[in-house]
């Protein structure tokens, strides 16, 4: 007789094999820059069946895993606000450079290259069964004065300089 643990392992193995073409896809990315240069970042994504199984069976605690990866690869402190099977919301300290001159404020965001994130993800065991599409369908960077810039399907976002 097959016990529950063995059945779970077999089910996950079979699903991994039949869904080898599955993918993690970024849907939208919104970066809201605050007056001090800190930013709240909201990323929505689509998970394939293996990722959903991993998320709901809590193979790994996503909040801990994500924070650990940010701390490993980022120079800026990060707080995870929320993680779900559809989104990641986090706060990045000192995200944008802020310069003040004669009453004018200039914000300079860093460029972002999601192909670097793909390299990081390939270090994770799940990359053996999952492909990645890390170019968000839509990206938006919003500044404190409500000015924004949109990008579509770009794996690399340029640095943005905005004056208020």
pLDDT band at 1 (very low <50, low <70, confident <90, very high): very low
Residue 18 CA to residue 23 CA, distance in Å, equals 13
- Residue found by looking up tokens 């779900």 in the block: 84
pLDDT tens string 97-126 = 999 998 899 999 998 887 776 676 677 666
Q: What is the pLDDT of residue 136?
A: 85
Sequence-ordered strand ranges (E) for the chain: 23-33, 39-46, 78-83, 87-92, 97-101, 104-108, 112-113, 131-133, 138-142, 148-152, 156-157, 161-163
pTM: 0.74
Contact 65, 72 (CB under 8 A): no
Work out the pLDDT band at 138, boundaries 50, 70, 90. very high
Distance CA(107)–CA(116), nearest Å, equals 24
Q: Which value, to the nearest 10 degrees, does the dihedral of the CA atoms of residues 159, 162, 34, 61 take?
A: -20
Answer whether 78's CB lies under 8 Å from 15's CB.
no
**Per-residue pLDDT tens digits for 33-65:** 999 999 999 988 776 665 555 555 555 555 666
């Amino acid at each position: 007789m097959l016990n529950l643990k063995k059945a779970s392992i077999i089910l996950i193995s079979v699903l991994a094999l039949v869904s080898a073409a599955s993918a993690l896809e970024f849907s939208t990315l919104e970066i809201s820059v605050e007056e001090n240069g800190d930013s709240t970042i909201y990323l929505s994504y689509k998970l394939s069946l293996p990722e959903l199984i991993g998320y709901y069976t809590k193979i790994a605690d996503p909040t801990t895993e994500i924070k650990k990866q940010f701390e490993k690869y980022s120079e800026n402190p990060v707080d995870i606000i929320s993680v779900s099977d559809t989104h990641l919301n986090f706060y990045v300290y000192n995200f944008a450079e802020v310069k003040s001159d004669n009453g004018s404020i200039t914000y300079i965001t860093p460029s972002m290259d999601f192909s670097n994130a793909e390299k990081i993800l390939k270090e994770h065991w799940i990359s053996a069964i999952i492909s990645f599409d890390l170019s968000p369908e839509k990206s938006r960077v919003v500044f404190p004065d409500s000015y924004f810039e949109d990008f579509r399907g770009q794996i690399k976002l340029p640095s943005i300089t905005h004056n208020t």
